[in-house]
């Protein structure tokens, strides 16, 4: 069920009504769990079995890990959890990719047989909920978390519908206490009539959701045609056309993914749950490292906590170790995005950027602390260089064909200073260009003025209604009759 | 507590008001927005077109079809039809669906549809795969909106973006050229094509070579059948026409050899699977011209050949033959 459909609006209103009417917290959670399973079943049909399998597996394994005193048994149980979750993810997401590479290798060595592909359907949200359940088991193994007491509580953590299919990747430490706190409050106060629906939550949540819908349906979906036209076959394109395409894709992917996240966080907030932010104006980052602290925060922090830090744990001072750890981490971040060489290249490029930046900061500290980088001009230059490099790596994110990708990368870096074709592209995509410029202006205002969502949520009712009317109207006027997939649904 | 409940009510009421106002304003704008492309069609179809009619649909790839020539070919074989070439640049099946009621009201005997690879380009559009029908699901937004009928611009609500963009383009064009000037048509009965003198001059061979700019394939994504919106629209269109006893003939428009060689294999497979699927579903032959004239000296660019020329009269003749074949069946 896509957020941008009437199906979701109806579903959400029904869930909200049920939660508001049924005051008992435990029943509310059961409704949310049932609703979340319906939400998933609506889009994925029988593949819901995988979600339930993953939930049951980790619930009981984590319990056993917590209960056992034997270190070897703990390790064994954790290994089973890792194998079970990563096995499912690997089988459904990467088996065809692996077979394809094997067949290519076989052709290279003139092997006459080819292994047939499985052609499996990629289960929706598998990359997200697998990482979520894994973090839970690992946290219990490390002794950082007390396992969930009831299966239904844990199941709601895994399947909570606002963030189920495209994150943010929740940590049990962030979510389970919210469930428990409410139940405990209810039991101690006994205030059956207390409603979960708070006005401040409702107004802020709706504002955030409106921002999300606007980013996705007004900006991302209407910039997509320009991106598609440039990158379907970029061979022969001028440097400026490629740069324009990269910039357009950067806006599209940000609008699409952060739009989804805003809707998810907003919906959760209305229901009384706090989901951590996933973006923090990443296009104003002044270095590759800062970019990853602002972009897809739940994934980068997951990789940092469960992969990168354990990798460099024994030797944090070794530059080589840190660099290698970063490269491996970003290689896996790339692979997490999709089973394709282009995603691996995306990960490696980002790994190199962050790795080189980290090494420079470590080895030449005076450069990082130089007063120039603290001036306005220095900051602008840092932002420009960081984003130029980031958009360069986005080429690998967007272009799947290797010939097309290498051509585009070459044109992006070695400028040909031709402009004729680019003008033609701009003329035939006037609306997309206008939207790109508008997006950049709004993004800049948001950067300068702070949290725009909060500002709009705090408007008095008259202006708040005007804001909603404007947003809904623009979305409707640019709606093309069919909802479009979110980019991150493919991951 | 009471204050909080009141605030929730106030916020809920504000959301309701915002929805009502924005949808009302939207409907008002839709009802007064002059969607010039749509109105052009409305004006044409509101004429009293007498006699037996054949309509030809497609985009710029059917520009070179001369409907008068086709009529005379048919007449020679004893079939008196007035043929109209209703193609329009960049038109696709989704756009065509908007005017389907006008088409049906004219009761043509046959509709001929020229399709090409470009017909199925996504330009950012996909269909989200729907879950099994056994699931109970709320109605689609588009279904809800299509219930609402406006004084004119019927069909616009299925895709408001068309209207917004058409209006935007109209005002842009108005700024850049004299809109009042009389537009000349390439042949008789081609109401939506404007004469373009460039279409009469064949390109030089060097321009059509593989590394030349013209021959450099600038395509777009073609999604497989289950995710392709224009393919879905084409099938819907054919079903609706068939339901009104209007015969549908589908053919693929010609392309240049160099261009065809550059079409990615995957796209060719998808395109061919669509043609096979159409034949299977509607039990007719899809006439395939896409690689029939690929080496002739008739091209102005990759996928358009010259018009107004004896050199390309065969194109109209070929379409006349298709119609005769179907009439004989």
pLDDT band of residue B158 (cuts 50, 70, 90) is: low
What pLDDT score does A315 carry?
75
Region for A115 from its dihedrals, namely left if φ exceeds 0, alpha if ψ lies in -120 to 50, beta otherwise? beta
Contacts of A476 in chain B (CB under 8 A): 22-23, 26, 160
pLDDT at B55: 96
Residue A337 falls in the annotated catalytic set:
yes
In the 8-state DSSP scheme, what is residue B187?
A: S
Chain A closest CA to B195's CA: distance in Å? 21
Contact B140 A7 (CB under 8 A): yes
Contacts with B24 from chain A: Cβ below 8 Å? none
Locate the domains of chain A by residue range.
6-194, 200-490
CB-CB under 8 Å, B29 with A478: no
Cβ contact (<8 Å) for B11 and A2?
no
CB contact under 8 A, A203 and B11: yes
DSSP string, A176-227: HHHHHHHHHHHHHH--TT--S--HHHHHHHHHHHHHHHIIIIIIIHHHHHHH
Burial per residue of A378-406, b for 16 or more beta-carbon CB atoms within 10 angstroms, e otherwise: eeeebbeebbebbbbbbbbbbbebeebbe
CATH (one of 3.40.50.300, 3.40.50.1110, 3.40.30.10, 3.40.50.11540) for B51-129+189-328: 3.40.50.1110
With left for phi above 0 and alpha for psi between -120 and 50, is residue A143 left, alpha or beta? left
Contacts of B132 in chain A (CB under 8 A): 45
Q: How confident is the model at residue A99 (pLDDT cuts 50, 70, 90)?
A: confident
The residue count of chain A comes to 491
- Beta partners for B305? B299
Contacts of B122 in chain A (CB under 8 A): 228
- SS3 state at B122: coil
The Cα B2–Cα B4 span in angstroms is 5
- Quote the CA–CA distance of A105 and B292 in Å, as a whole number: 38
Rounded distance, CA B298 to CA B64, Å? 11
- Position A323 pLDDT exceeds 80: yes
Mutate one of B1, B8, B134, B158 to test the A interface: name it (highest A CB count within 10 A). B8
| Total residues belonging to chain B | 329
Distance between CA B192 and CA B197 in Å, rounded? Answer: 16
Minimal Cα distance from A459: which residue of B?
B11
> How many whole angstroms separate alpha carbon B260 and alpha carbon B302?
9
Test mutation, A14, A194, A199, A272, chain B, max B CBs within 10 A: A199
Nearest CB to B18 within list A41, A197, A472: A472
A and B: number of Cβ contacts within 8 A: 136
Structure tokens at A236: 């022969």
| Token couple for A178 | 């919210």
Res. B122 pLDDT band, cuts 50 70 90: confident
The catalytic residue among A24, A29, A66, A337 is A337
> ipTM of the predicted structure?
0.80
Q: Residue A163: left (phi > 0), alpha (psi -120 to 50), or beta?
A: alpha
Residues of B in contact with A235 (CB under 8 A): 216
Shortest CA gap B24–chain A (Å): 9
Residue with tokens 């008196």: B80
Q: What is the pLDDT of residues B242-293, one digit of tens each?
A: 999 999 999 999 888 888 888 888 889 999 999 999 999 999 999 999 888 8
Taking residues B156-166, report their average pLDDT.
Answer: 70
Q: Which residue of chain A has the CA closest to B229?
A: A482
Nearest to A220 by CA among A160, A280, A274, A261: A261
**Confidence (pLDDT) at B216:** 61
**Strand ranges of the sheet holding B82-85, from the earlier edge strand across to the other edge:** B82-85, B53-57, B110-115, B247-252, B287-288
Residue corresponding to tokens 């033959």: B321
Asked if the Cβ–Cβ distance from A42 to B124 is below 8 Å, we say no
Which among B12, B138, B165 is the nearest to A431, CB-wise?
Answer: B165
Task: Look at residue A193 in the predicted model and tell me its pLDDT.
Answer: 41
**What pLDDT sits at residue B126?**
64
The string of DSSP codes covering B6-38 is HHHHHHHHHHHHHHHHHHHHHHHHHHH---HHH
Contact A278, A258 (CB under 8 A): yes
Averaged pLDDT of chain A: 87
Count of beta carbons in the 10 Å neighbourhood of residue A47: 17
Helix (H, G, I), strand (E, B) or coil at B251: strand
Q: How far apart are CA B207 and CA B177, in angstroms?
A: 29
Question: What pLDDT sits at residue A263?
Answer: 94
Q: Which of B94, B161, B228 to mutate to test the interface with A (most CBs of A within 10 A)?
A: B161
Closest by CA to A205, choosing from A28, A13, A37, is A13
CA-to-CA distance for B109 and B107, rounded, in angstroms? 6
Q: Count other Cβ atoms within 10 Å, centred on residue A464.
A: 21
Percent of chain B as helix, strand, coil, to the nearest 5: 50, 10, 40
**Cα separations in angstroms, A320 against A312, A323, A327, A362, B34:** 10, 5, 10, 11, 66
Q: Please list every residue in chain A whose beta carbon sits closer than 8 Å to the beta carbon of residue B226.
A: none
Res B98: pLDDT: 81
Q: Which residue of B has its CA nearest to A467?
A: B18
Domain boundaries, chain B: 51-129+189-328
Q: Of A228, A236, A430, which is closest to B172 when you measure between CB atoms?
A: A430
Which chain B positions have a beta carbon within 8 Å of A44's beta carbon?
A: 131
Residue range A130-159: mean pLDDT, rounded? 92
- A234-259 per-position pLDDT tens digit: 888 899 999 999 999 999 999 999 99
pLDDT interval class at A192 (50, 70, 90): very low
Cβ distance B160 to A480 less than 8 Å, yes or no, reads: yes
Percent of chain A with pLDDT over 90: 50
A473, B25 contact by CB (below 8 A): yes
Helical H segments across A304-340, by residue range: 309-312, 319-337
**b/e for B24-49, b at 16 or more Cβ within 10 A?**
ebbbebbeebebbbbeebeebbeeee
Mention every residue, 6+ apart, whose C-beta is less than 8 A from residue A190: none
Is pLDDT of A116 > 90?
Answer: no
Which among A7, A42, A482 has the least Cβ separation from residue B127?
Answer: A482
Q: pLDDT digits over A267-312, tens only?
A: 999 988 889 989 999 999 999 999 999 999 999 999 999 999 888 8
The pair of structure tokens assigned to A418 is 């031709």
């Amino acid at each position: 069920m896509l957020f941008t459909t009437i199906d979701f609006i109806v579903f959400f209103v029904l869930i909200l009504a049920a939660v508001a009417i049924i005051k008992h917290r435990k029943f509310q959670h059961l409704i949310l769990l049932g609703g979340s399973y319906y939400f998933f079943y609506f889009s994925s049909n029988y593949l819901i079995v995988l979600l339930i399998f993953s939930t049951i597996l980790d619930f009981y394994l984590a319990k056993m890990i917590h209960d056992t005193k034997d270190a070897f048994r703990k390790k064994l149980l954790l290994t089973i959890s890792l194998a079970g979750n990563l096995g499912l993810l690997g089988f459904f997401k990467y088996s065809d990719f692996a077979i394809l590479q094997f067949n290519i290798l076989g052709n290279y060595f003139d092997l006459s047989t080819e292994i047939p592909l499985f052609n499996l359907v990629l289960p929706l949200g598998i990359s997200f909920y697998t990482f979520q359940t894994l973090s839970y088991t690992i946290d219990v193994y490390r002794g950082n978390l007390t396992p969930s007491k009831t299966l239904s509580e844990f199941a709601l953590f895994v399947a909570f519908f606002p963030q189920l299919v495209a994150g943010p990747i929740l940590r049990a430490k962030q979510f389970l206490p919210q469930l428990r706190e409410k139940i405990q409050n209810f039991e101690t106060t006994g205030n059956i009539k207390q409603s979960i629906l708070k006005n401040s939550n409702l107004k802020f949540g709706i504002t955030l959701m409106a921002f999300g819908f606007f980013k996705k349906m007004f900006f991302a979906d209407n910039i997509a045609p320009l991106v598609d036209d440039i990158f379907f076959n970029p061979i022969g394109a001028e440097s400026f056309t490629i740069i324009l395409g990269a910039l357009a894709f950067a806006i599209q992917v940000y609008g699409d993914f952060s739009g989804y996240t805003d809707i998810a966080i907003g919906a959760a907030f209305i229901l009384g749950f706090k989901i951590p932010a996933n973006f923090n104006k990443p296009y104003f980052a002044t270095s590759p490292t800062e970019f990853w602290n602002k972009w897809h925060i739940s994934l980068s922090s997951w990789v940092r906590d469960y992969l990168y830090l354990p990798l460099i744990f024994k030797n944090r001072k070794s530059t080589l170790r840190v660099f290698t750890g970063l490269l491996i981490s970003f290689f896996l971040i790339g692979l997490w995005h999709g089973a394709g060489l282009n995603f691996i290249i995306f990960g490696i490029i980002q790994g190199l950027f962050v790795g080189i930046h980290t090494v420079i900061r470590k080895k030449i500290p005076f450069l990082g602390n130089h007063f120039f980088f603290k001036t306005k001009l220095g900051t602008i230059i840092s932002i420009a260089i960081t984003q130029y490099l980031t958009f360069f790596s986005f080429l690998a994110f967007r272009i799947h064909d290797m010939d097309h990708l290498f051509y585009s990368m070459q044109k992006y870096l070695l400028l040909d200073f031709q402009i004729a074709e680019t003008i033609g592209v701009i003329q035939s995509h006037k609306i997309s260009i206008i939207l790109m410029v508008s997006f950049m202006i709004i993004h800049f205002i948001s950067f300068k003025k702070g949290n725009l969502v909060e500002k709009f949520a705090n408007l008095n009712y008259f202006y708040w209604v005007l804001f909603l009317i404007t947003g809904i109207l623009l979305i409707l006027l640019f709606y093309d009759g069919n909802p479009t997939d979110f980019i991150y649904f493919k991951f | 507590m009471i204050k909080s409940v009141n605030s929730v009510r106030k916020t809920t009421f504000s959301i309701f008001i915002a929805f009502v106002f924005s949808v009302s304003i939207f409907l008002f704008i839709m009802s007064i927005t002059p969607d010039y492309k749509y109105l052009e069609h409305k004006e044409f179809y509101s004429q009293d077109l007498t006699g037996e009619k054949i309509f030809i649909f497609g985009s710029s790839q059917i520009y070179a079809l001369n409907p008068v020539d086709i009529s005379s070919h048919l007449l020679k074989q004893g079939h008196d039809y007035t043929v109209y070439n209703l193609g329009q640049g960049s038109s696709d099946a989704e756009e065509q669906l908007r005017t389907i009621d006008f088409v049906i009201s004219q009761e043509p005997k046959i509709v001929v549809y020229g399709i090409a690879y470009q017909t199925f380009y996504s330009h950012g559009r996909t269909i989200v795969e729907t879950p099994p029908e056994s699931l109970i699901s709320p109605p689609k937004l588009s279904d809800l909106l299509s219930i609402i009928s406006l004084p004119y611009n019927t069909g616009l609500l299925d895709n408001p973006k068309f209207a917004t963009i058409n209006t935007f383009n109209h005002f842009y064009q108005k700024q850049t050229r004299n809109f009042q000037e009389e537009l000349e048509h390439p042949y008789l009965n081609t109401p939506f094509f404007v004469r373009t003198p460039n279409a009469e001059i064949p390109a030089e061979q060097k321009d059509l070579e593989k590394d030349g700019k013209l021959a450099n394939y600038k395509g777009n994504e073609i999604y497989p059948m289950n995710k392709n919106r224009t393919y879905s629209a084409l099938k819907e269109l054919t079903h609706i026409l068939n339901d009104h006893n209007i015969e549908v003939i589908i053919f693929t428009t010609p392309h240049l050899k160099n261009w065809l060689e550059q079409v990615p294999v995957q796209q060719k497979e998808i395109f061919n699977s669509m043609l096979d699927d159409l034949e299977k579903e509607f039990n007719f032959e899809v006439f395939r011209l896409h690689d029939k004239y690929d080496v002739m000296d008739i091209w102005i660019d990759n996928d358009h050949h010259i018009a107004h020329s004896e050199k390309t009269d065969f194109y109209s003749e070929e379409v006349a033959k298709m119609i005769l074949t179907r009439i004989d069946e």
